[in-house]
Amino acid sequence: MVIYRVVVHQEGFFLSGDAHRTSIQLVGSKGASDCVPLAERSAEYEVSCPASLGALLLVRLEAPPTTTSVWFCSKVTVTTPEGRVLLFPCYRFVRCSTALALRDSIAKFVFDDVRPIELEQRINELMYQSMKAEDEKFLHSVSHTHTHTHTHTHTHFLSVQLSPTHTPTHTHTSCPLLGLVERLWKDDWFFGQQFLNGANPTLIRRCSELPSNMAVTEEMVRSSLEGGASLQQEMERGNIFLVDYRRLDGLTPNMVNKKQNYITAPLVLLHLNSKHFLLPIAIQLKQAPGEDNPVFVPQDLEFDWLTAKTFVRAADFAEHELHAHFLRTHMMSELFAMATLRNFPMAHPLYKLLIPHFRFTLEIDTLARNLLISDGGTLSTYTAVGGPGMLEFLRRASAALTYHDLCLPDDITRRGLESIPNYYYRDDGLQLILIGHRYVEGVASYYYHDDSDVIRDSELQSWINEIIVFGHLIDEKKGFPKSFTSVSELTYFVTMVIFTASAQHAAVNNAQLDYFGWMPNAPVGLQLPPPSTKGLCSESSLLASFPDVNATVHGLATVYLLSKRPTDYVPLGSSAEQHFTENFPVEMAARFRSDLKRLSYEIQVRNIGLMLPYVYLQPHNVEDSVAR
Ligand SMILES: [Fe+2]
């Protein structure tokens, strides 16, 4: 007779249940144990077998159909009669009719599994998760997602994803700039710096040639440039920048409180002066030039200029929430999460690497669909870009999305922003990419011995194929890889996935309350049409443009909630889930955390000297996943 000592780790003050009525069975290469019922108040068990089970392959947990108990199993550890301690990660709920077959924590590719029972487990696990996904009709493409207002929930997937440590309460949030924005929102330098380090740092680009539809002339901007330089000279020197909201052009604006709202698609020209201030020098509020579409300049009357800037800020609110935030972080993370759940079994090293970065993503996106963009949702009801314009905008944005948009180094290069000073989103983001790439490269190189391993990993190839197909990313012009042929190609992509789910989301999510908490700096909509001639704007016309109180309150409540840090907040790299146990990936993860800590310190030191500290990509402020 031999004894296996088993510890079942049950977590849970959330949806906690007891594990009784679940049975556990050990399966080895030389046979299986009896099914042992779990006791009501014990985590440790002894499983007796007549002889050694050989190599321990699986731990089976099975709950009968009649049980009403729901409990969360984080992991099972087994000490064999030979003295080996094996860990079997679970991190799933056990409920009625559950039959889980857990693999030990040593990562394996499909081509490493030589025993039929291992392959069977692998296939069954994928079928189990795929079936749930099919039930939910969840894997609509990004563009399809935007053409429907989904009302379904993802209950089944939540049972896979939810951890019992999740609670809906929040702690105070860090919003160091909220009070300053109220004081600074009218200042041109503050207006300009928001394009670099505000809530939406993704739209500005260097301008080497004026857009053909912008009717700005040398005379209009001459007094804004220094030392008699011409606009052409400043463009050649790399000092002129453009923000173009053309995706908003021609959208059907929303009615809010039965009042017509207005959306403009501004063009904003900015100049980087010798003191490194980025100042707006011309604003054209509509795309088509014409007599009813004046180019506003800082020398205009105070309220003409302030009204023009306010229309830009309202456009930026729409661009930020729907494109930079919802599409590029929430929707893309959901796409990556779904492909991961459907194509990688838990034994796959990339499952182990990626799964912490999808914590609560399906849940928060379900809430966003049901409460923000659905009929009657906050964005649909109270914002100018809500309603029919929202779906068209999202269609345009998803159609234009490229791989390079999601890869920060490429994005910075393509926007010509490699050298613009004081662009902290770029500086901190590139450091995070560097650290993340080193981590992913280390883990990927450890498991994929050479490029041929990448090519023959059928689960990996299915994963990228599903991302491409269901994300409608197949167009060559979008630049996404259709398959992986090398470790380096895979590393670059996976680094992008983790960056999108963590840092990129932090950059656009966590700045919301700071920059949108003072309504005039980010109106959810404007109730008067944009000025078609100069000299008619006034303080009273600007006040009349602002959204109604109830629309403002709903907008503020939303950004307040999304900016608040939950009590179960998990910083980047700090997941408590134990998926890897092999020395090398564990050491790589430790180095990842150490690198992040060093970067946190460096950013903290840098921020001491800044009037507007950039804190959103300080690693301890970067959440591990899209979770709010
Ligand atoms: Fe978010």
Q: If you measure from the C-alpha of residue 617 to the centroid of ligand 1, how many angstroms do you get, rounded to a whole number? A: 14
User: How many alpha carbons lie under 13 Å from residue 290 in its C-beta half-sphere?
Assistant: 8
* Pair of tokens at residue 65: 């159909």
Q: If you measure from the C-alpha of residue 627 to the centroid of ligand 1, how many angstroms do you get, rounded to a whole number? A: 7
Q: If you measure from the C-alpha of residue 461 to the centroid of ligand 1, how many angstroms do you get, rounded to a whole number? A: 29
Q: If you measure from the C-alpha of residue 321 to the centroid of ligand 1, how many angstroms do you get, rounded to a whole number? A: 9
Q: How many residues are listed for the chain in this entry?
A: 628
Q: If you measure from the C-alpha of residue 562 to the centroid of ligand 1, how many angstroms do you get, rounded to a whole number? A: 6
Q: If you measure from the C-alpha of residue 55 to the centroid of ligand 1, how many angstroms do you get, rounded to a whole number? A: 45
Q: What's the mean pLDDT in 280-294? A: 98
Q: If you measure from the C-alpha of residue 500 to the centroid of ligand 1, how many angstroms do you get, rounded to a whole number? A: 11
**Burial (Cβ within 10 Å: 0-12, 13-18, ≥19) of residue 128:** middle
Give pLDDT, residue 154.
29
The C-alpha angle 601, 605, 607, rounded to 5 degrees, equals 115
Q: What's the mean pLDDT in 187-211? A: 98
Q: How far apart are CA 35 and CA 48, in angstroms?
A: 10
End-to-end CA distance of the chain: 52
123, pLDDT greater than 70:
yes
Q: If you measure from the C-alpha of residue 397 to the centroid of ligand 1, how many angstroms do you get, rounded to a whole number? A: 17
Q: If you measure from the C-alpha of residue 483 to the centroid of ligand 1, how many angstroms do you get, rounded to a whole number? A: 29
Give 3-state DSSP helix, strand, coil % of the chain, rounded to 5: 45, 15, 40
Q: If you measure from the C-alpha of residue 33 to the centroid of ligand 1, how many angstroms do you get, rounded to a whole number? A: 47
Q: If you measure from the C-alpha of residue 178 to the centroid of ligand 1, how many angstroms do you get, rounded to a whole number? A: 18
Helix (H, G, I), strand (E, B) or coil at 538: coil
156, pLDDT greater than 50:
no
Q: Contact 247/319 with Cβ under 8 angstroms?
A: yes
Backbone φ and ψ of 75, nearest 5° = -165, 165
Q: If you measure from the C-alpha of residue 415 to the centroid of ligand 1, how many angstroms do you get, rounded to a whole number? A: 24
Q: If you measure from the C-alpha of residue 352 to the centroid of ligand 1, how many angstroms do you get, rounded to a whole number? A: 23
Q: If you measure from the C-alpha of residue 509 to the centroid of ligand 1, how many angstroms do you get, rounded to a whole number? A: 5
Q: How far apart are CA 508 and CA 488, in angstroms?
A: 28
Q: If you measure from the C-alpha of residue 144 to the centroid of ligand 1, how many angstroms do you get, rounded to a whole number? A: 20
Q: If you measure from the C-alpha of residue 502 to the centroid of ligand 1, how many angstroms do you get, rounded to a whole number? A: 10
Q: If you measure from the C-alpha of residue 464 to the centroid of ligand 1, how many angstroms do you get, rounded to a whole number? A: 24
Q: If you measure from the C-alpha of residue 583 to the centroid of ligand 1, how many angstroms do you get, rounded to a whole number? A: 34
433, pLDDT greater than 90:
yes
Write down the domain spans for the chain: 2-104, 318-519+552-621
Give pLDDT, residue 172.
38
Q: If you measure from the C-alpha of residue 512 to the centroid of ligand 1, how many angstroms do you get, rounded to a whole number? A: 9
Q: If you measure from the C-alpha of residue 565 to the centroid of ligand 1, how many angstroms do you get, rounded to a whole number? A: 11
Q: If you measure from the C-alpha of residue 56 to the centroid of ligand 1, how many angstroms do you get, rounded to a whole number? A: 42
Q: How far apart are CA 199 and CA 516, in angstroms?
A: 8
Q: Contact 196/425 with Cβ under 8 angstroms?
A: yes
Q: If you measure from the C-alpha of residue 406 to the centroid of ligand 1, how many angstroms do you get, rounded to a whole number? A: 16
Q: Contact 251/263 with Cβ under 8 angstroms?
A: yes
**Burial (Cβ within 10 Å: 0-12, 13-18, ≥19) of residue 535:** exposed
Give pLDDT, residue 96.
79
pLDDT tens digits along 468-519: 999 999 999 999 999 999 999 999 999 999 999 999 999 999 999 999 999 9
Torsion of CA 48, 49, 52, 55, to 10 degrees: -80
Q: What's the mean pLDDT in 409-415? A: 98
Q: If you measure from the C-alpha of residue 338 to the centroid of ligand 1, how many angstroms do you get, rounded to a whole number? A: 18
Q: If you measure from the C-alpha of residue 332 to the centroid of ligand 1, how many angstroms do you get, rounded to a whole number? A: 12
Looking at residue 123, its amino acid is: I
Q: Indicate the range of 63-77, 199-213, 265-279 predicted with least confidence.
A: 63-77
What global pTM score does this model have?
Answer: 0.92
Q: State which H helix or E strand residue 304 sits in.
A: helix 302-318
Count helices and strands (H / E) in the chain: 24, 16
Calculate the alpha carbon distances from 523 to 383, 554, 558 in Å: 9, 11, 13
% residues pLDDT > 90 (the chain): 81
Beta strand 205-206 with 85-94 is: unpaired
Q: Indicate the range of 161-170, 182-191, 249-258, 320-329 predicted with least confidence.
A: 161-170
Give pLDDT, residue 171.
41
Between 297 and 42, the more confident residue is 297
Q: If you measure from the C-alpha of residue 326 to the centroid of ligand 1, how many angstroms do you get, rounded to a whole number? A: 7
Which is the CATH superfamily of the domain at 2-104?
PLAT/LH2 domain (2.60.60.20)
Q: If you measure from the C-alpha of residue 335 to the centroid of ligand 1, how many angstroms do you get, rounded to a whole number? A: 15
CATH value of 318-519+552-621 in 3.20.20.10, 1.20.245.10, 1.10.8.60, 1.10.3720.10 = 1.20.245.10
Give pLDDT, residue 164.
35
Give pLDDT, residue 132.
60
54, pLDDT greater than 50:
yes
DSSP 614: -
Helix (H, G, I), strand (E, B) or coil at 9: strand
* Average pLDDT score, the chain: 90
Helix (H, G, I), strand (E, B) or coil at 572: coil
Q: If you measure from the C-alpha of residue 507 to the centroid of ligand 1, how many angstroms do you get, rounded to a whole number? A: 10
DSSP 520: G
Q: If you measure from the C-alpha of residue 9 to the centroid of ligand 1, how many angstroms do you get, rounded to a whole number? A: 31
* Pair of tokens at residue 601: 């310190």
